[in-house]
Amino acid sequence: MSAFTRPATTQPQTESNLPRSSFLTATPLYLAPMVTLTHAGVRHLIEEYGGCDRYYTEMISAEAICARSEFRRWYLDLQPAPERTMYQFLFRDPEAVAAVVREVADRGALGIDLNMGCSAPHIVRGGGGIAWMRRPDEARRAVAAARGAAPHARLSVKLRLGEQRAIAQVAEFAEALCREGLDELTLHPKTRGEPESRPADWRFVVELQERLAVPVNASGGVTSVESLRRKIDRFQPAAVMIGREAVRSPWIFAHARGEQLEADRRAAADRFLELLSQYQPAEFHPTRAKRFFQYYTQPLRWGARLFQALKKYTTLTEIKEQIHEYFENHPEDRFPNERRL
């Protein structure tokens, strides 16, 4: 029997079934899938700061898993909270997605998310991510194949707007996918080519939700607890994914719940490095450390300079020493005095 649990029909929220983020709001808060970032090490770090309602793995190539990649055990690791973790798969054809869904069905994940939103040029060229929006019939077949492979799995898709800053294209695409048995969707409301600097427009999440019977989660642009609260108050999405800000401040979910925990940026950096070496293969350490610190250093006064310095190192020990030196020179950056609700 599959270990997946498909959601029951939407229940009214009562005090006993409110999600963990209920101090701030009944809106569930999720860690967004981020390649090279949302591996088990980072998920453990966030869990040690109190965790979030749901984790996503980084996007995992379905084809690589089916080809028995030597790194598959690291990619498929669901720790620290399998029952709150969705696998996210990147794939190029419906058969691959059906095969991978069958492959992971008994691993105890919360469910499966299909990546139809990634806009990285090499992924799009290969026919994955947002390229699926150009092949709506095949995309429908992919969702149907995933549903057929795991009839009881919680199944979702993560999307972007597509080519235009308008709702029509993505709504038509999403409606067709829902007819194949999706349980929910996430919209990162930006077009394929929009630069990182342009803010995600959550009005499109509201518009999509008005057209679909399944919950639509919002992703993009949460930069603080205050911005999260403003967005939830205004747009009331089914759930919110937090991506880069959860790397800059792994305690953001705890702060959103009103927990008064003291964040120590040097201690969190040390802990991240320990967890990285524990939960990722040595071959991945330098690149994953650098990707993490690209975001983690952003709130620091001289963060850009620190990140430039870190880029030249190849061992975690060197990275750690450089970080310690930074906090010795800039002790004011060590305990971020974040405003709380």
| Closest alpha carbon to 85 in 98, 76, 74, 72 | 76
Residue 167 C-beta: closest distance to ligand FMN, Å: 18
- Report the C-alpha gap between 254 and 261 in whole angstroms: 8
Tell me, rounded to whole angstroms, the distance of Cα 185 from its chain centroid.
13
Minimum CB separation of residue 41 from ligand FMN in Å reads 15
Q: How many residues does the chain have?
A: 341
Shortest approach of ligand FMN to residue 168 CB, angstroms? Answer: 21
In the complex, the residues that contact ligand FMN under the rule CB under 6 A are: 32-35, 37, 58-59, 88, 115, 117-118, 158, 188, 219-222, 242-245
* Residue with Cβ nearer ligand FMN (2 or 223): 223
Stated as kind and residue range, the H or E segment containing 217 is: strand 216-219
Residue closer to ligand FMN (CB basis): 66 or 242: 242
| CA gap 148, 156 in Å, rounded | 14
Show the tokens assigned to 182.
Answer: 């999706």
Taking the complex as a whole, how short is the minimal distance between the CB of residue 236 and ligand FMN, in angstroms?
18
State the nearest-atom distance from the C-beta of 87 to ligand FMN, in Å: 11
Q: Which residue has the tokens 């973790």?
A: 85
Are 6 and 112 in contact, with CB atoms under 8 Å apart?
no
The residue (of 58 and 327) whose beta carbon lies closer to ligand FMN is: 58
Between residues 190 and 327, which has the closer beta carbon with respect to ligand FMN?
190
Helix 316-329, helix 303-310: angle, nearest 10:
160
| Whole-angstrom distance, CA of residue 27 vs CA of residue 52 | 11
Nearer to ligand FMN, 255 or 327 (CB): 255
Q: Return the closest-CA partner of residue 176 out of 124, 126, 211, 217.
A: 211
Nearer to ligand FMN, 35 or 145 (CB): 35
Closest residue by beta carbon to ligand FMN: 243
The least CB distance from residue 174 to ligand FMN, in Å, is: 15
